[in-house]
Amino acid sequence: MAKIKEIRCIRTRPNGTWVIVKVTTDQPGLYGIGSASDYYHSETVITAIEEVISPRLIGREAGHIEDNWQSTFTSAYWRNGSILNTALGGIDMALWDIKGKEAGMPVHQLLGGPCRAAVPCYAHAEGSDLVGLEEDVRRYIEEGYSVIRCQLGGYGGGGFIDANKAGLPKNAWSQTRAFDDEAYIDSITKMFDYLRTKLGFGPKLTHDVHEHLRPQCAVTLSKLLEPYRLYFLEDVLSPEQISWFRLIREQCTTPQAMGELFINPHEWTPLITERLIDFVRVRVSKAGGITQCRKIAALCEWFGVHTAWLEGGDNDRVNQMAAVHLDLASWSFGIQEENHFRSEELEVFPGHALLEGGYLYANDQPGLGIDIDEEKAAKLLNHEQAAHRRYMAEDRKADGTIVRP
């Protein structure tokens, strides 16, 4: 059995937002990698891993994944935070990678073996107007995607009113636009009416509200979209307002996807066991890694809920690979979010999953099947860009009130 010898982080991507954990063992050449990326708190996660969590794990059995997870989870008494979950998730993935290499099997084989041939993904279509959006949706249909997310520009798009028409107060703070719940409801309903008229009911369509609405408006939008038979409506509520899903369920059949900000079992467990959502969308690293997410997938199976692990533009290829192994081995898998990467980003990760015709394909290499080329990773990192602080964009209402992102 291999013992943990060293745990360190490798920061890459020009802006330094990808943090890859490398766990090396006392066995020659045996190591594993995992994802501990956090777009806004890369440095904080690295400190948590290298200075706080790592010293406790050195010398322990790499193969005791469950024990390493459980004991690390409570090692600082307080737990379930975003930073600590990400740190734990990254180390956990690396330990599964090591176990797979020791067994000579891909991680999805360790999880019970594949129950599907490949991983269907949904695409991100957008347009600043309806015609542009329709063109983008058609492009993805031609590429082979059967599920397509439809957005009018960035998050909240369709709900923004130009500042000089928004009725700002005379002492308004500096803002060029204002988010309006009712305008958003109106334009997103019209968007799906347009798309269904043009495309029919063949393509499976989704939309991401990204929490922008007041809870009552989330109920209204879900109900108004019912005739357009979405594949799912995503993040219609903020994590603080998840009890409102009961009201949505009483009102309509629009399927709900939720959970990309979840970090605590008390957030996802009631939504799954009360069948209040249809897709759970936690990020594998943010929930605490493969150990935690395989349990979420098993819970989903008993209650008819499906997984749709969060990927998206900020995510790295190692977290994506961890999701792919869970997708392949979980009966409760529903759909995987797609990612697009530049060629120089792909070169850093030999063995990465291949996206083709709307499907992700893993390889049959032992462990996660993905590695990191540390020389290329270092070259890709731009220290000046990485030193810049990163924050969510601030969307505000006409009176200046901040809108949840």
Q: Which residues are catalytic, by number?
A: 155, 210
Residue numbers 69-108 binding Mg ion by CB under 5 A: none
User: How big is the CA angle at 290 (ends 102 and 100), to the nearest 5 degrees?
Assistant: 10
Instruction: Please name the residue that has the structure tokens 């073996």.
Output: 113
Q: Least distance to Mg ion from the beta carbon of 208, Å?
A: 4
Residue 71: half-sphere exposure toward Cβ, Cα within 13 Å: 11
Tokens of 251: 């009102």
Residue 177: which region, alpha, beta or left (left: phi > 0; alpha: psi -120 to 50)? beta
Instruction: Please name the residue that has the structure tokens 């357009």.
Output: 228
Q: Which is nearer to Mg ion, 95 or 152 (by Cβ)?
A: 152
The span of 94-102, 161-169, 235-243, 386-394 binding Mg ion (CB under 5 A) equals: 235-243
Residue 233 phi/psi, 5-degree rounding, is: -105, 130
Which H or E run contains 248?
helix 245-251
What residue type is assigned to position 333 of the chain?
A: F
Q: Strands of 18-25's sheet, edge to edge?
A: 4-12, 18-25, 31-35
Q: Which is nearer to Mg ion, 260 or 327 (by Cβ)?
A: 260
Interface mask toward Mg ion for 237-276; x: CB under 5 A = -----------------------x----------------
Q: Which is nearer to Mg ion, 159 or 369 (by Cβ)?
A: 159
Q: Least distance to Mg ion from the beta carbon of 234, Å?
A: 5
Question: In the chain, helix, strand, coil percent, each to 5?
Answer: 40, 20, 40
Q: Which is nearer to Mg ion, 96 or 244 (by Cβ)?
A: 244
Q: Which is nearer to Mg ion, 260 or 371 (by Cβ)?
A: 260
Q: Which is nearer to Mg ion, 117 or 393 (by Cβ)?
A: 393
Q: What is the distance between the alpha carbons of residues 331 and 4, in angstroms, rounded to a whole number?
A: 32
Q: What is the distance between the alpha carbons of residues 232 and 396, in angstroms, rounded to a whole number?
A: 26
Q: Residue 134, interface with Mg ion (CB under 5 A)?
A: no
Q: Least distance to Mg ion from the beta carbon of 282, Å?
A: 11
Is the separation of the CB atoms in 195 and 158 below 8 Å? no
Name the maximum alpha-carbon separation found in the chain: 70
Residue numbers 165-224 binding Mg ion by CB under 5 A: 208
Is the separation of the CB atoms in 39 and 16 below 8 Å? no
Residue 90 phi/psi, 5-degree rounding, is: -65, -45
Q: Least distance to Mg ion from the beta carbon of 171, Å?
A: 34
When CB distances to Mg ion are compared, the closest residue is 208
Q: Least distance to Mg ion from the beta carbon of 392, Å?
A: 13
Q: Least distance to Mg ion from the beta carbon of 257, Å?
A: 8
| Contact residues for Mg ion, defined by CB under 5 A | 208, 234-235, 260
